[in-house]
Chain A
Amino acid sequence: MSTTVSELDKVKAGPWSGGKSPWNMEYGKIMMWFFLVSDAFTFSAFLIYYGAQRFSHITWPDPDKIFQSIPFVAEHGYPLVFVGIMTFILIMSSVTMVLAVEAGHRNSKNEVVKWMLWTILGGLCFIGCQAIEWSHLHHAGFWFGTTPATGLEGDAIKEALQPYFTHDISQTSALQFANLFFTITGFHGFHVTCGIVLNIIILFMTMNNTFEKRGTYLMIEKVGLYWHFVDLVWVFVFTFFYLI
């Protein structure tokens, strides 16, 4: 009788042979990361198309001239201020989300609830600001497939678009700008809305002691990943639409 164990029957112990989890991460968290990578591809495709459009036109609307109002405060002359407020709100709500995750690590239910409430509030403020921004542009005449010059003839086109350009005027680039602005910020706003819904769901689950009974607040971390991703996309949208 031989006591040697054949190579095949040996207990595998290495990280890549089934001995232990190679990434040491929970399955759902890995899948959230892979979803976010694929979502990053979608947003990248949108923004790269925006870049390609800009490169293919001699002239492009000047963001400083399109976005220069602060709702309820000033109509003209303050470029970047309102979007600065929006950016600050979103970064702030990202911070409160990390604080909720950090509180979850300490199994501190009350703190998780507190920080989740702040995060949801930040998300709602951001969506509200975006709605104001959209309606402002819509009143100016921009929408999917329309610019302030839509339906006008001759010199009236030039007159309608003049306020939005610094150099040459182009109806095509104004139209492309309007389409891409509403598509990309709309898709981002849709993500923020989904994030708020997810945040509300896990807030109720927290208050319902679901994570307390489960023994881990890992779900906060997974939704948190999504929420930070939304913030991350906004960092890029902000640069390419408002700064450049």
Chain B
Amino acid sequence: MSNHDHTAGHDAHEHGEGMDKKGIWKIFFILLALTALEFFIALALVHKGILAKGALVNTIYIVLTLVKAYYIVAYFMHLKFEKSGFIITCGIVFIFIIYFIILMLTEGHFLLSAFQTHEIFPNN
């Protein structure tokens, strides 16, 4: 049994070139650059008043976050080098999360107007 595990682990590694030290540091610098870009937008643009806080800046932040998440999951967690069947199995369930985001944000948006017309909270 342990012998089998050994080959399984080894095959997966050989199958997709995997990550050598150079590749790991490359991904690190990509992540660092993306984080630095986020800080640049926050401190040099938004804080100085060049860009206003709002939908545009938030969209940029979320896109940068998703790109960072992609690099962590694909390369650090090695998912990119697994079998496509496994990638789909782990990834497809996030359809529910996307649905949940749409659902809850719509709900929040509705509550915003509902709270304004029916004051139930003190100091709202």
Residues of A within 8 A of B (CB): 21-27, 29-30, 33-34, 37, 40-41, 44-45, 48-49, 51-58, 64, 79-80, 84, 87-88, 91-92, 94-95, 97-99, 102, 105, 157, 170-172, 214-216, 218, 221, 224-225, 228-229, 231-232, 235-236, 238-239, 243-244
Contacts and interface: CB of A to CB of B under 8 A. Distances in A.
Contact of B107 (A52, A157, A172, A218): A52
Contact of A64 (B19, B47, B58): B47
A42 to B, nearest CB: 11
Contact of B20 (A21, A54, A102, A243): A102
Nearest to A105: B13
B19 A98 contact: yes
A95 B29 CA distance: 10
Given A80-B42, A91-B31, A232-B72, A33 B47 contact: no
B111 A33 contact: no
Contacts, number: 157
Nearest to A64: B47
B100 A44 contact: yes
A34 B90 CA distance: 7
Interface residues of B, number: 61
Given A64-B47, A91-B35, A24 B8 contact: yes
Given A21-B8, A94-B72, A170 B123 contact: yes
B2 A215 contact: yes
B73 to A, nearest CB: 7
Contacts of A54: 108
Contacts of B108: 51-56
A217 to B, nearest CB: 9
B39 A84 contact: yes
Given A37-B93, A214-B2, A102 B21 contact: yes
A195 B115 CA distance: 41
A27 to B, nearest CB: 8
Interface string B1-30: 010011011111101001111001100100
Contacts of B10: 216
Nearest to B121: A172
Contact of B72 (A57, A58, A102, A228): A228
A172 B61 contact: no
Contacts of B11: 24
Nearest to A157: B123
